[in-house]
Every structure is written in C-alpha cells, then in structure tokens.
C-alpha cells in the first residue's frame, strides 16, 4: 500500500507526520520525494547503504546529418530547441527528456546524451520498538530546475508488501502530482488558518482529479479556528488525526528528534492514524 503525505501549503508538518507514521508502522518504507530539500533523514537518521545518480536524456544534434528542417523545434513542448537560420540550438535546462525530438527527426540526426540532475540514497533506519524501516530519498542537484524525473526514479524503489509512505513536496504543481500518482491514499497535513485552508482546497482538487481518496491531519489543531473542520464536513473528508501545539514537541523537532520516540502519547496517536488509514483504504 502506498500513502502519500502532502499538504498544499508548505510548513504544515508533512515531514513530521510522514516520519512519525513511518516509525510506528510495521513493514514501513519511507520515501522522501521532496527532492529539492529532503529533510526526513534529519529525523529518521538512516544509515545510507547505496547511492545512485539520476540522469536525464538530453538531445545531441549531429550537425552533419541535420538539414535544419525545424521539425524538432516544432515538436518540443518545452521550447528547449530553436531553429536559428541553418542551425538548431538546444537548451538542456528546458529539456524534460521526453524524446519527442529524437522520434520526429526525419534525418535521425538527434541522439540522446545524458545529464546528471540528482542522486538517490537508500538505507535503513531504526524504528520504534527496535525494528527497522526502509529509507530512500531523492536529492536534486543544486541548480537543477526539473525535479519530476528524480521523483519518478525514487518512487520506483517502492516495494510490494511494504507500507510505503511518500513524503511529498509542497504545492500542487508537477512535483507534487508526480509524487501522488499511483498512490492508494493521500494524507493531507494542514493547519487551521486561512492559508492552510486555501492551499488544502487546491491540493484536494488534485487528489480528486487523480481519483485518489484522501484524509486530513490537522497540525497545531488548537491554534487558528474551525474553518478546516467546517470544510471537511462540507466536503465529507475524514479528519484522521489532530495534533495540538506542544512546546516540548517543537523543541524536540528543532533537535531532530521524532515525536513518537520521546512521547508515548504521540506514539499511540500515530498508531491509531496507521489503523485509520487502513480502514479508510478498505472502504
């Protein structure tokens, strides 16, 4: 089973929820898809066993064969190729590696070379009660503007029979959609503020388009107001967990300590969350 933890708004507690859930769930595999700034490892403290590079195919043009017909530039959805006079210019920064130019070129003048855009690290981390969880994250290279290929690659590490938790990037753009695709369930972490609700509504819209059932975790639930509850009632979205603001938890967080490892009450809450997710998916 694959559960994505997403939010819409940044800073609501995605990683807090995803890591704590991973620590209490049996057979858990945690995959950090927030490849621009992965931070799950700060709390899970995995031992990295394997590292591999992620590359992206980019076009290489054989100027001997190229007749400057311009078909490749027209085919490129991302404007990564331009026909200037008798020469095709390539902009690797804009390339999404779709391969349309290679396919369309009548002269077979375009081949694919590759560019390293990031890396993936995998390993194991200690979980609650002395067990172990599987860990993986993607890390985008600094300056790389295109993260979905790294997310796609790190998601492939999800193993059958595991309770897979994908930690999503914030927002509702391509990286978040790429993370959520193929999930059995989506857990949205939000906060009871106008910003929290605004971005939650956008994120729920994405889950609904992808036809993925979702539930809500309200973080800092005792701050703000009742707007999230009213929204969830109206939209018939279950609230699976509410986490009140707690100074001790915030302090532990600042030191990279997971809530369930230091607070038994939180461990119970997250075990209940695990159960609730199973019930919801079984519906």
Residues binding another protein (CB under 8 A): 73, 76-80, 82-85, 87, 89, 91, 93-94, 96
Nearer to another protein, 52 or 89 (CB): 89
Nearer to another protein, 48 or 104 (CB): 104
Could you give phi then psi for residue 186, rounded to 5 degrees?
-125, 130
Give min distance, CB of 183 to another protein, in A.
23
Nearer to another protein, 24 or 176 (CB): 176
Nearer to another protein, 85 or 129 (CB): 85
Give min distance, CB of 85 to another protein, in A.
7
Evaluated on CA atoms 27, 35, 218, 281, the torsion sign reads: negative
Nearer to another protein, 76 or 105 (CB): 76
Nearer to another protein, 69 or 94 (CB): 94
Give min distance, CB of 59 to another protein, in A.
14
Give min distance, CB of 84 to another protein, in A.
4
Give min distance, CB of 86 to another protein, in A.
11
What span, in angstroms and rounded, lies between the C-alpha atoms of 202 and 230? 16
The CA-based diameter of the chain, rounded to the nearest angstrom, is 70
Burial of 253 (0-12, 13-18, 19+ CB in 10 A): middle
Q: 3-state DSSP call for residue 277?
A: helix
- The Cβ of residue 190 has, within 10 Å, a number of other Cβ atoms equal to 33
Nearer to another protein, 69 or 82 (CB): 82
What span, in angstroms and rounded, lies between the C-alpha atoms of 15 and 136? 14
Give min distance, CB of 78 to another protein, in A.
5
Give min distance, CB of 47 to another protein, in A.
38
CA distances to 4, 208, 218, 232, 238 from 10, in Å? 15, 20, 14, 20, 21
Residues in a beta bridge with 139: 119
Element spanning 167, H or E: strand 163-167
Listed residue (138, 118, 130) closest to 48, CA to CA: 138
């Amino acid at each position: 089973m694959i559960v994505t933890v997403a939010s819409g708004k940044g800073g609501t507690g995605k990683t807090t929820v995803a890591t704590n859930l991973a620590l209490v769930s049996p057979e858990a595999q945690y995959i950090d898809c927030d490849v621009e700034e992965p931070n799950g490892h700060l709390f899970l403290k995995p031992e990295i066993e394997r590292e591999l590079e992620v590359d992206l195919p980019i076009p290489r043009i054989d100027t001997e064969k190229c007749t400057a017909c311009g078909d490749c530039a027209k085919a490129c959805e991302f404007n990564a190729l331009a026909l200037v006079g008798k020469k095709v210019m390539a902009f690797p920064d804009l390339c999404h590696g779709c391969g349309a130019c290679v396919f369309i070129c009548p002269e077979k003048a375009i081949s694919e070379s590759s560019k390293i855009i990031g890396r993936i690290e995998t390993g194991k981390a200690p979980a609650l009660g002395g067990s172990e969880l599987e860990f993986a994250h993607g890390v985008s290279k600094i300056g790389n503007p295109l993260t979905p290929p790294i997310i796609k690659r790190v998601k492939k590490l999800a193993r059958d029979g595991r309770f897979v938790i994908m930690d999503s990037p914030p927002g509702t753009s391509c990286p978040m959609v790429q993370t959520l695709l193929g999930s059995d369930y989506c857990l949205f972490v939000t906060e009871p503020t106008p910003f929290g609700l605004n971005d939650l509504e956008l994120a729920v819209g994405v889950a609904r388009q992808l036809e993925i059932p979702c539930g809500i975790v309200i973080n800092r639930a005792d701050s703000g107001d009742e707007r999230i509850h009213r929204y969830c009632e109206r939209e018939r979205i279950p609230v699976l967990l509410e986490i009140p603001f707690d100074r001790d938890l915030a302090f532990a967080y600042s030191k990279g300590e997971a809530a369930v490892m230091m607070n038994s009450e939180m461990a119970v809450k997250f075990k209940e969350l695990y159960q609730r997710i199973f019930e919801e998916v079984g519906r």
